[in-house]
Amino acid sequence: MNSVWKETEKRVRFAPLSDNKTTDILIIGGGIAGILCAYKLKNAGVDCMLAEASEICGGITKNTTAKITLAHGMIYDKMIRRFGEEKARLYAEAQRRACEEYARLCQSIDCDYEVRDAYVYSLHDRGKVEREVAALKRIGVRAELSDASELPMRVAGAVRVSEQAQFHPLKFLYTIAKNLPIYENTKVVHLMPHKAVTNHGEIKYQKAIIATHFPILNKHGGYFLKLYQHRSYVLALRGAKNVSGMYVDESDTGLSFRSYGDLLLLGGGGHRTGKQGGCWQVLEEFAQQHYKNAEIVAKWATQDCMTLDSIPYIGQYAKTTPDLYVATGFNKWGMTNAMVAADILCDLVCGKTNPYAEVFSPSRSVWHPQLAFNAFESTVGLLTPTVPRCPHLGCALKYNRAEHSWDCPCHGSRFTESGELIDNPATDDKKMHKRG
């Protein structure tokens, strides 16, 4: 079940760490956020290195739908009401700058970069669409109402933001990674102040960036309460009517659409990791109804870290860890948020101020209804008496019949049927004695 990106690009390879090393900035995690951090730091003349536990882009990054846009669902109206226009404007400005940086870099990289309009639609609530358009205009973003007429179903309305983009993420990332100081198959097994112990040696550092999708340290920052993980699914269809724009439902359980060559990428079926959801079945049923002659040529799933307030956590890991930084909680918008993270973190580790750092600060208020729900789910998972249990914090795992995996409903760790780790925050395999 490889993504079309994985199937259409040959990966670059890097050797594992071979002895003890010293660096100014250690980056842990070789997904898009970690690679962009390493790229920006190296080009700024900063001594850095990246340690990846397996292969770069081998986790969530390879399964993105790769939309480069500031249209992140219908978040801006809510953001203005909760935080005010200035914070919403800064968030949108950071995303816009990320889009512009991709456009600049992709001029010299063959990565199927294409300018596209982005649409966020609602099936039933036109008022919500109208409020979002008004909110975007208030903070200086050109947006307009649309009927999203090229979709195969009727919608109540859509927000249209023009001149956004899409690309082939692995073609882009493998190109910029080629000359970076990266060590693959180098797992950090113990992280302490200014020293990381890996399975191949030790790395001494001045500052470290944790870019491991879900943060791997539980002792600091409270990320096990501030985050939860959400799974969603994608079908690549050949023979379906293509779309010229990039579309996403404002609902977490809705559908997304974008083209790639002669393929239509249909996404959806989402649910909280470890819970029941529509999975590929919802997508297959939709395709049978609306694209009767289409052929499914690929299918895959992805997983996203979701924050309490729809804004990522980018910055100092915790108030008690002055030399440790984090990038997580991209809320399904990893392309632009990874670039935002690289911009902010490269400034912070170099002792510079960044105009967007406060917006994304991991130390901002956690008082939000989602916090109570996350705590409730964790408590239920801990008190559920079934086995097997997740080695992360001990929650009961749930069997995922669609993907034949064991998933943690508390924090999103996933394991194969035989217990091999698929997704963090767990860092070790799980011994399985029986299927349960």
Condensed to tens digits (0 to 9), the pLDDT of residues 351-369 reads 999 999 999 999 987 767 7
Choose the final residue of a domain: 360, 377, 395: 360
Q: Do 268 and 253 meet the contact criterion of CB atoms below 8 Å apart?
A: yes
CA-atom Rg of the chain in angstroms:
21
CA distance 226 to 184: 29
Q: How confident is the model at residue 113 (pLDDT cuts 50, 70, 90)?
A: very high
Q: Which residue spans within 45-156 are E strands per DSSP?
A: 48-51, 67-68, 114-122, 144-146
Shared domain check, 13 and 52: yes
Amino acid at 412: G
CA distance 144 to 99: 19
Residue 397's domain is classified under what CATH number? 2.102.10.10
Q: How far apart are CA 406 and CA 290, in angstroms?
A: 32
- The terminus-to-terminus CA distance of the chain in angstroms comes to 25
- pLDDT tens digits, 204-232: 999 999 999 999 888 888 898 899 899 99
CATH code: domain of residue 35: 3.50.50.60
Question: What is the number of structural domains in the chain?
Answer: 2
Task: Print the domain residue range for 26.
Answer: 4-64+170-225+309-360
Q: Is residue 252 part of a domain?
A: no
Mean pLDDT for all residues in the chain: 93
Tell whether 293 is covered by a domain: no
Q: How far apart are CA 402 and CA 278, in angstroms?
A: 9
Say whether both 218 and 314 belong to one domain. Answer: yes
Whether residues 382 and 401 share a domain: the answer is yes
Dump pLDDT digits (tens) for 52-61.
999 999 999 9
185 located within any domain: yes
Answer yes or no: is pLDDT of 49 > 60.
yes
The Cα-based distances of 222 to 20, 375, 398 in angstroms read 31, 11, 23
Does the pTM surpass 0.85? The reply is: yes
Strand-pairing partners, residue 421, are: 415
Does residue 112 form part of some domain? no
Assigned domain for 282 exists: no
Joined tokens for residue 84:
């005010």
Mark whether 316 and 353 lie in a shared domain. Answer: yes
Number of residues written out for the chain: 436
In whole angstroms, give the CA distance from residue 143 to residue 356: 22
In a domain, 127, yes or no: no
Q: DSSP readout, 223-284?
A: HHHH-EEEEEEEEEEESSPP-SSEEEESSTTS-EEEEETTEEEEEEEEEETTS---HHHHHH
